[in-house]
Amino acid sequence: MRFKSKDIFGALCLTLSVLFSGCAWIPAKQGVYQPSDNKPEHYVEDKNLQPDGFFTTELKTSAKNFSDAQEIEAASAQINNDYLLGPGDRFAFLVRGREDISQQEIIVSPDGLVALPRVGLLNVKGESLKQVTDQCVNALKVYYEKPEVTLVMRAYNNNRVYVLGRVANPGSVSFQGQGTLLEALSLAGGMPADVNKTFLSRCMITRGKNLVMWIDLRELLEQGNMNLNARLQNGDVIFIPLSEDQNAYVLGEVKTPGVIPLRTQINVMAAIMAAGGPTKGANLRDVFLIHQTQGRGMVEKINVQELVGRGNAAQNYVLRDGDMIYVPETGLSKFHYFTDQLSPFFTIIGVMLNGVSSLGVSNSLYYGGTTGH
């Protein structure tokens, strides 16, 4: 039996062609790449479903799930500037020239009632100081001519809101003046203790039975947009939900693929570096950004190599919750992978040839020659 080099080479080529025929990356069946003249290629299930500005290099507060500055201002304008008495408040009841009925401290009961000399029981809950003073004057006119009544606040204990969720000290906080969202967060301890795992990104303000506002805390805290610093009213509830569920995912040819928490605005490049950076086999020309919305996937192909080499940040998009970045491998990397897989095959071929040689077959076998007889 004689072996020729062209036979071995042909077998190897056939093997490699079979292996590499299955290496091509095939996109999902839902769509195809649609190149445009001035835009990068998009891969979408339906081209009409892609809204303008879906991928952006900066996130704005105009997201529908957040209240804008106009809505917050309108809600703040409805708050009464006068302090309204309530349970726990303490004030002095002073009648000029009538020390016998004056009281240095009156405490409002949990049901909002107070007992005042000569005046009797009054329900002061939800009343301003002026309103209660007028009631006292009218009640004392029966006993005194032109009574002069003065109410002096000793402690404001009813001006409070409730801060719940991911803050250091959840619970009720009290204000000495007109409270704001930033003041409430500060009194509640601000950032939670497990700051490495969670962060303040959004909060909900509930007022009464109808008003609910969602505030973008990133815009307020990081960008300093004081238009979002909503004024608070007694009894408001501030809820800061869990933030661990706001993650992006980096997959493929990076050193440490996995989850990237979105504690602040993170763009594509920052996410890739947070995942350890690309591997040597990464194809930085064809990085894919996948975003899910309303059960549909939107895909953008990003040339990270151009982003780095030319400083073109047009595609360095800010990531949103649930975004995925996939860094594919290069064709050369695939070649190295399959040659590694083929190394046992080459070893077997070498053993076979060495075995044939040991049986007395001359080296001319390797060059297509014939053995002598």
Structure-block tokens of residue 47:
């081209």
Q: What percent of the chain has pLDDT over 70?
A: 66
For residues 141 and 27, the model is more confident at 141
Q: pLDDT tens digits for 287-311? A: 999 887 666 778 888 898 888 888 7
pLDDT value at residue 91: 95
Q: pLDDT tens digits for 108-150? A: 999 999 999 999 999 999 999 999 999 999 999 999 999 999 9
Give residue 36's pLDDT band: very low, low, confident or very high (50, 70, 90): very low
Percent helix, strand, coil in the chain, to 5, is 30, 25, 45
Rounded CA gap, 128 and 141, in Å?
20
- H/E stretch holding 90: strand 90-95
Q: First-to-last CA distance in the chain? A: 13
Please give the CATH architecture assigned to the domain spanning 33-53+245-331. Answer: Roll (3.10)
The 3-state DSSP class for residue 318 equals strand
Rounded CA gap, 147 and 343, in Å?
106
User: Would the pLDDT of 161 be above 80?
Assistant: yes
pLDDT value at residue 6: 52
CB 232 within 8 A of CB 239: no
Lowest mean pLDDT among 80-89, 133-142, 311-320: 311-320
pLDDT value at residue 261: 81
Mean pLDDT in residue range 146-156: 92
Give which of 190, 215, 203, 320 is closest to 264, Cα–Cα. 320
The CB-side HSE value for 211 (13 A sphere, CA atoms) comes to 20
Compute the mean pLDDT over every residue in the chain, rounded to the nearest whole number: 76
User: Would the pLDDT of 50 be above 50?
Assistant: no
Return the domain boundaries, the chain.
Answer: 33-53+245-331, 69-80+159-240, 90-155
pLDDT value at residue 48: 42
For residues 195 and 203, the model is more confident at 203
User: Would the pLDDT of 158 be above 60?
Assistant: yes
Do the domains at 33-53+245-331 and 69-80+159-240 have one common CATH topology? yes
**Domain 69-80+159-240 CATH assignment equals 3.30.70.20:** no
Mean pLDDT in residue range 93-101: 93
Structure-block tokens of residue 286:
């064809």
The 3-state DSSP class for residue 287 equals strand
Give residue 11's pLDDT band: very low, low, confident or very high (50, 70, 90): low
pLDDT value at residue 44: 42
Rounded CA gap, 242 and 203, in Å?
10
Range among 51-60, 173-182, 345-354 with highest mean pLDDT value: 173-182
Q: 191-207: b or e for each residue (b if 16 or more CB lie within 10 Å)?
A: ebeeeeebbbbbbbbbb
Structure-block tokens of residue 45:
């299930």
Strand partners, 32: none
Q: What percent of the chain has pLDDT over 90?
A: 32
pLDDT value at residue 311: 79
Give residue 192's pLDDT band: very low, low, confident or very high (50, 70, 90): low
Instruction: Please say whether the dihedral angle defined by the alpha carbons of residues 217, 222, 228 and 234, taken in this order, is positive or negative.
Output: positive
Residue type, 282: A
pLDDT value at residue 162: 93
The 3-state DSSP class for residue 323 equals coil
Mean pLDDT in residue range 158-173: 88
- H/E stretch holding 182: helix 181-187
Q: What is the pTM of this model?
A: 0.54
CATH class for the domain made up of 90-155:
alpha beta
Lowest mean pLDDT among 160-169, 192-201, 275-284, 307-316: 192-201
Q: pLDDT tens digits for 227-280? A: 999 999 888 999 987 655 678 899 999 999 998 887 777 889 999 999 999 998
